[in-house]
Amino acid sequence: MENKLKNKISLKVIQSPELGQQLETQLTSNQQNSLKKQGYRLVGNHSAVKICEWTRNMIRGKGGCYKFIFYGIRSHQCLQMTTSMFCASRCKFCWRGQKAPVASEWYGPIDSPEHIINHSIDEHIKLLQGFKGMGFEKHNKKAISEMKNVRHVALSLTGEPITYPLINEILKAFHKRKISTFLVTNSQYPEQIKKIDKVTQLYLSIDAPNKKLMKKIDRPLFSDFWERMLECLDLLKTRDYRTCIRLTMIKNENMCDVGGYVELIKKGNPDFVELKSYVWVGASQGHYKVENMPQMEDMKEFMKNLLEKLPEYEYMREHIPSRAILLMKKSLKKKCWINFPKFTEMVEKGKKFKAEDYCSEIIQPNE
């Protein structure tokens, strides 16, 4: 089993290209052109940046995303990016479709963490320049002045960011700049999770309650996909930092087998559980219908069924525009906000700490 689960990611080349220099990349020229037309900005040989719609909304004074409501992440200071364009799953609900390659192993050159961070922030700021001079200063002058000061990074844009061979090093580099880190993984790379020393919050995506349904929905490349996910869950419960399981809810597809979800959640023992509605957009429209998008009433009903079998968790809050619901451990005493200054301080001092040490009852901005 150990050999079967072994992650084959290897360091072929460590290369920090000059800005604009292109070596062997993870993308074909057609894929690159397609992504650029859709608002992506490519960084080096395997990374990308795109402005989140909620970043735009926050700058326009129209409110932040669910991560702002749930955890205190200020959307106008959040960098949405990935450190790897390829993914080992072909999820039917993914709106990105085949914009990026599908693969199970790392390939191509490896850019340095500093190169990726520097140029990702540069591209992020360039994409935001259009907001200046558009009149938004009158309504949200503070956000306009702060938007260039990146304080959070969401490693989740596309592909599978955790496959970047230097994932722990880039997380440390972000923390050194006092930038909080939110890493999302599709639960197929347990060996990469083992590499991570500290991350502000780690998400595992669990898209189905059982093996049969996971194979149907995620269409994974690995034959041992279920075992890989179970190992990721085993690792999740041993982490000292904040952890979260994200459930993407698809009506008439995976909103079933509550007992299966309960077993997986108990196995991973996360601090938080997010229920998030599938959204009928992009490539996913070829697999589902608009009716597969659950309403908040559907989400709440499913949540109630989960909580009946998860007495150690409780409802915390919801974000209706995103159709998202947050559950959290009762032991955290409703402290869902992140104390960003405390997290930075503990990381800088090399202290050992647990998730509850940087949880807060009030918003603690990362300034």
Q: Please, what are the domains in the chain?
A: 2-360 (3.20.20.70)
Model confidence at 307, pLDDT cuts 50, 70, 90, reads: very high
For residue range 203-258, list pLDDT tens digits in order: 999 999 999 999 999 999 999 999 999 999 999 999 999 999 999 999 999 999 99
Q: Most confidently modeled of 22-31, 106-115, 138-147?
A: 106-115
DSSP state of 366: -
Single pTM value for the model = 0.91
Say which amino acid occupies 163.
Answer: T
Confidence of residue 4 (pLDDT cuts 50, 70, 90): very low
Q: Name which residue leads in pLDDT, 90 or 24.
A: 90
Distance in angstroms (rounded) separating the CA atoms of residues 77 and 75: 5
Asked if residue 245 lies in contact with residue 206, where contact means CB atoms within 8 angstroms, the answer is: yes
pLDDT for residue 9 is more than 70: no
Confidence at residue 84, expressed as pLDDT on a 0 to 100 scale: 95
Biggest alpha carbon distance in the chain? 61
Please say whether the beta carbons of 156 and 181 come within 8 A.
no
If you average pLDDT over every residue of the chain, what do you get? 90
